[in-house]
Amino acid sequence: MNTFLEIISPELSSALLGRCREKRYAEGHVIFSEGEEPAFLPFVREGRVKLVRHPGDGKELIMGMFSSGEVFAIPPAMDGKLFPATAIAMEPTDLLLLYIDDMRALLKESEEFSSLVLQAMCGILRDRADTAMIHNTPSAEARVAEVLLKLASESRQEPPVKIALRRQDIAEIAGITTETAIRSIRKLHAKGLFRIDRGKIFIDSTAPLQDYLS
């Protein structure tokens, strides 16, 4: 599936680049924090970003991840309400920041931009629903299987799909501890649902995961 920055027209790309400010973030750098007022609409030019929340029990829950070409944090940019999560660079990341006034002007000027932003927001809402479903799954193994299936299904790689995330990241998406995620991955691997090569998970086909969850 092509990303926002990949599918826009040359005219919109020029208009967007002319208004955006580019900023580079080091791995682990906080882009914005939960509870802050939104000042911009961010696009990932290169790199990866995760949105996290801390429910208060010492855990960190990943609410969403965004990679090169994707836009995120659309709802707070649109309605002006506080950021509901913290955004952190997962690796050295270049962002294009479209500040609110420029965003509003472009929404009025470009029907293409308005339509694509709406489509992207719908995708984010569907992703949140998927995350909620994962967190409501009682079994830790099933949660991990749901996460791996989601990552593989959303990947733009040809099979086999390499899961680049750390065990900690998988745990945070699943809403479980890292230790529990490690145990669950070992059990799922023993069932033959995926391969592990040099510590990395490879999914040759999503069918075994789908069958396991059915």
User: Residue 62 pairs with which residues in a beta bridge?
Assistant: 52
Query: Which of the residue ranges 87-101, 131-145, 190-204 would you say has the lowest mean pLDDT?
Result: 131-145
pLDDT, position 2: 78
Rounded CA-CA distance 162/60 in Å is: 24
Type of residue at 135: H
Angstrom distance (rounded) from CA 121 to CA 115? 10
Give the mean pLDDT of 79-86: 94
Question: In the β-sheet with 93-99, what is the strand arrangement from edge to edge?
Answer: 21-25, 93-99, 40-46
pLDDT of residue 58: 66
Q: What percent of the chain has pLDDT over 70?
A: 98
Average of per-residue pLDDT values in the chain: 93
Chain segment 55-75, per-residue pLDDT in tens: 766 677 888 899 999 999 999
At 142, the amino acid letter reads: A
Q: Which amino acid is at 41?
A: L
Q: What is the pLDDT of residue 157?
A: 84
At which residue do the structure tokens 């479980």 appear?
A: 176
Domains detected in the chain: 4-132 (2.60.120.10), 140-213 (1.10.10.10)
What average pLDDT does the segment 89-96 reach? Answer: 97
pLDDT (tens digit per residue) in 37-49: 999 999 999 999 9
Average pLDDT over residues 199-214: 95
Is the pLDDT score of 123 beyond 80? yes
The sign of the torsion formed by the CA atoms of 165, 169, 175, 181 equals positive
What pLDDT shows up at residue 161? 94
User: Is the model's pLDDT at 15 over the cut of 80?
Assistant: yes
The angle at the Cα of 50, spanning 107 to 86, to the nearest 5 degrees, equals 80
The amino acid that residue 15 corresponds to is A
Is 131's pLDDT higher than 70? yes
- As a whole number of angstroms, the distance between CA 101 and CA 82 comes to 17
pLDDT number for residue 106? 96
Distance, in Å, from the CA atom of 107 to the CA atom of 118, rounded to the nearest integer, reads 11
Are the C-beta atoms of 175 and 59 separated by less than 8 Å?
yes
Q: pLDDT (tens digit, 9 = 90+) per residue, 140-197?
A: 999 999 999 999 988 888 899 999 899 999 998 998 999 999 999 999 999 999 999 9
Q: What is the pLDDT of residue 1?
A: 63
